[in-house]
A and B are shown apart, each in its own frame.
Chain A
Amino acid sequence: MEATLRRSATLVGRNHHQHGLRLSAAMPWCAATSNKSTTELSKKAPTRRQFSVLNRPAPNYPGHVPLTRLERAGLMIGSGIMSLRDPYRGDLIAAFAEATATPYFIYRLRDAMLASPTGRRILRDRPRITSTSLDLPHLRSLPPNTVGATYVAWLDREHVSPDTRSAVRFIDDEECAYVMQRYRECHDFYHALTGLPVVREGEVALKAFEFANTLLPMTGLSVFAAATLKKSERARFASTYLPWALRNGLRSREVINVYWEEQLERDVEDLRRELGVEPPPDLRAIRKAEREERARRKAQMGTV
């Protein structure tokens, strides 16, 4: 609240012709005053004094590192290149997302959350997804068609944990930092929702879906990682998964607005129908079949 007030106050201070709009400026989420200036305020980047690396301003939240424009550009380029070369550097992919999220994109996502009642509740409650906040044993006990059971089955199958997400550090606005953190933590739920596996092919397909849905630049630029896929995978991506991703990402509702903690006991097909997401062809099964086919052919050639 304080940060938003401070940001709004700075904006009001600089745009002196908006004196009379002080109240709406202070509470931009007030739907009642939906005038042009409010949307302008929320879409514009929070202005801050020019600073250099030698006199960084105080952090807005724990772990926050305010970056200068040059640093942000350097981080963008550096993390982009290095994460393309080594996609196991999840921390760099995260940094790339943060460096490219401003201006505009993270604010658009935050506004999409503000425009929905569930989104507003998420922003107010600020739930976090960690292995302790979700009761994983309980989720395992749920019927297999529920969201929670699908999620935990996916976690177990892919051998991942909800704790592997790095904290957001390079987004200046504190609320937008939470939005980015929420997106990052929900990524595994998107995997469970779509059923895409954690292999490079599945990740690229999911990133395409996320780009169509959230419009975060990192997701879109990650699609270029498709260039590092094998030829058959690239062909499959271009023919099946990319069209699926774009089609479903664009027509479905904003997945950032799903309050996952409340949807855990819901039937997953039901949720998919509500969101407007159709599951893609089972990538793991296709890859397994391909592997078996290749092994069979190799065995045949060996015996001949």
Chain B
Amino acid sequence: MPTLRSSARLSRGQFQCQLQKRIRPFSSTSTRALSSSSPSSNSNTPPRSSTTPDYATPDPSRPTHFGFETVTEAEKIQRVAGVFTSVAESYDRMNDLMSFGWHRIWKDHFVSSLNPGFSPLTPGPDPRAPQHILDIAGGTGDIAFRMLHTAHVVNANPDVRVTISDINPAMLSVGRQRAQDQLPASQQAAITFVEANAEDLTRTKPLTSPPAPFFDASTATNRIPDASVDLYTVAFGIRNFSNIPAALREAHRVLKPGGIFACLEFSKVDKHPLFNAVYKRWSFGAIPLIGQLVAGDRDSYQYLVESIERFPSQEDFRDMIVDAGFVVGGQGYEDLTGGIAAIHKGMKPRVKAA
């Protein structure tokens, strides 16, 4: 692996990814400490069960990384918001330019491997059961639209609905516009847009008129109830979260037993050193330049490539998923294009009847 920068970068990145240090899922010094003496500074987080580790509770003052910088979790939320508000308009064009259009292949493969709308365990001859898909950080709707097409058209299952959640209203409005431009009415009716922080899905702001159940008038937010989602997807979003374990735990909460957690994200190409060298140089050299020329924003794309660098490896991320209570099959991940992207899948285990 090519050596990264000199001492300047090391000192900045001394906070190596606090999360990785604490993940030891099978060691005896388990981190599942009782954390009922949780941070009092955080009156905004929902009450957590006592088995939630400290690091999985969002804490606005805890340090995390923003690219190669070290910032607090609260600051990261704001800065990511800034990045995505500024890139929202040219997001799709930039994705095409940076990956030479290959992101479409990845997304197509991701959705077809999940095959929404088809549930083989449905009792009876018809494998088409109602499904609720929650697409996190799905602002511009790429994954959601593909899900709807596969479910409604390919699998002829009209009972599939998708909730698109994103923390950034600018990305959501781009998504809403695209939905109106591209989708037939039946599919448009199956989408709900909500503004939410994936680390806390008890407080989502619906963009349209609020559905009555779970709506809390005092905060004007809607709660995504426990065990209400069949498929939780997040594509190219999770590396921007300030607290990934918290998001994984929220995913575990909202999924039904037997529900699937699926994540498509940039990952490490370490298994192919020569390709990795070329890929890294393209990432750090050409992508910020393209961002500057096309989108007029070098810094956001520099953040993008740094956040890819900071994201845990395939195995480490799989361990985080297992730590959150999911079960994985086989390796737990699938490399795409040599590892530039990877699909991680986990299932929330069904509880055996006693």
Partner-B contacts on A (CB < 8 A): 52-58, 65, 68, 70-71, 74-75, 78-79, 82, 89, 91-92, 95, 169
What residue of chain B has the Cβ atom nearest to residue A55's Cβ? B5
Q: A53-B281, A55-B5 are in contact. List 20 more A-B contacts (CB 8 A).
A: A52-B2, A53-B284, A53-B285, A54-B2, A54-B3, A54-B281, A55-B9, A68-B285, A70-B285, A74-B285, A74-B289, A75-B289, A75-B293, A78-B293, A79-B292, A79-B293, A82-B293, A91-B296, A92-B292, A169-B298
Give the CA-CA distance A78 to B280 in the complex, in Å.
Answer: 21
Are B285 and A65 in contact, CB atoms less than 8 angstroms apart? no
A57's partner among B6, B281, B289, B293 (CB-CB below 8 A) is B6
Are A54 and B280 in contact, CB atoms less than 8 angstroms apart? yes
CB distance from A115 to the nearest CB of B (A): 34
CB-CB < 8 A to A71: which residues of B? 285, 289
Give the CA-CA distance A152 to B5 in the complex, in Å.
Answer: 47
Given A91-B296, A92-B293: A74 in contact with B5 (beta carbons within 8 A): no
CB-CB < 8 A to B296: which residues of A? 89, 91-92
Given A68-B285, A70-B285, A71-B285: A54 in contact with B5 (beta carbons within 8 A): yes
Q: Does B121 touch A at the CB level, under 8 Å?
A: no
CB distance from A168 to the nearest CB of B (A): 13
A55's partner among B3, B289, B292, B298 (CB-CB below 8 A) is B3
Number of A-B contacts (CB under 8 A): 46
Give the CA-CA distance A83 to B284 in the complex, in Å.
Answer: 23
Q: Does B8 touch A at the CB level, under 8 Å?
A: yes
CB-CB < 8 A to A75: which residues of B? 289, 292-293
Q: How large is the interface on B (under 10, 10 to 19, 20 to 34, 35 or more residues)?
A: 10 to 19
Q: Does B286 touch A at the CB level, under 8 Å?
A: yes
What residue of chain B has the Cβ atom nearest to residue A63's Cβ? B299
Q: Does B353 touch A at the CB level, under 8 Å?
A: no
What residue of chain A has the Cβ atom nearest to residue B9's Cβ? A55
Are B4 and A55 in contact, CB atoms less than 8 angstroms apart? yes
CB-CB < 8 A to B280: which residues of A? 54
CB-CB contacts of B1-18 with A at 8 A, as 1s and 0s? Answer: 011111011000000000
Give the CA-CA distance A89 to B5 in the complex, in Å.
Answer: 32
CB distance from A118 to the nearest CB of B (A): 34
Give the CA-CA distance A169 to B296 in the complex, in Å.
Answer: 14
CB distance from B195 to the nearest CB of A (A): 30
**Which parts of B34-48 form the interface with A (CB within 8 Å)?**
none
Are B8 and A95 in contact, CB atoms less than 8 angstroms apart? no
CB distance from B58 to the nearest CB of A (A): 31
What residue of chain A has the Cβ atom nearest to residue B284's Cβ? A53
Given A53-B284, A68-B285, A91-B296: A58 in contact with B3 (beta carbons within 8 A): no
Are A52 and B6 in contact, CB atoms less than 8 angstroms apart? no
Are B286 and A74 in contact, CB atoms less than 8 angstroms apart? yes
Give the CA-CA distance A35 to B165 in the complex, in Å.
Answer: 68
CB distance from B2 to the nearest CB of A (A): 5
CB-CB < 8 A to B292: which residues of A? 75, 79, 91-92, 95
17 CB contacts below 8 A, A to B, read: A52-B281, A53-B284, A54-B3, A54-B280, A54-B284, A55-B3, A55-B4, A56-B5, A57-B6, A58-B6, A71-B289, A74-B285, A75-B292, A89-B296, A91-B292, A92-B293, A169-B298
Given A68-B285, A70-B285, A71-B285: A54 in contact with B4 (beta carbons within 8 A): yes
A78's partner among B4, B284, B289 (CB-CB below 8 A) is B289
CB distance from B53 to the nearest CB of A (A): 34
Give the CA-CA distance A91 to B294 in the complex, in Å.
Answer: 11
**Among A52, A74, A82, which residue has the most Cβ atoms of chain B within 10 A?**
A52
What residue of chain B has the Cβ atom nearest to residue A83's Cβ? B293
Are B6 and A55 in contact, CB atoms less than 8 angstroms apart? yes
Closest 3 pairs (CB-CB, A-B): A53-B285, A53-B284, A55-B5
Give the CA-CA distance A78 to B291 in the complex, in Å.
Answer: 11
Give the CA-CA distance A91 to B298 in the complex, in Å.
Answer: 11
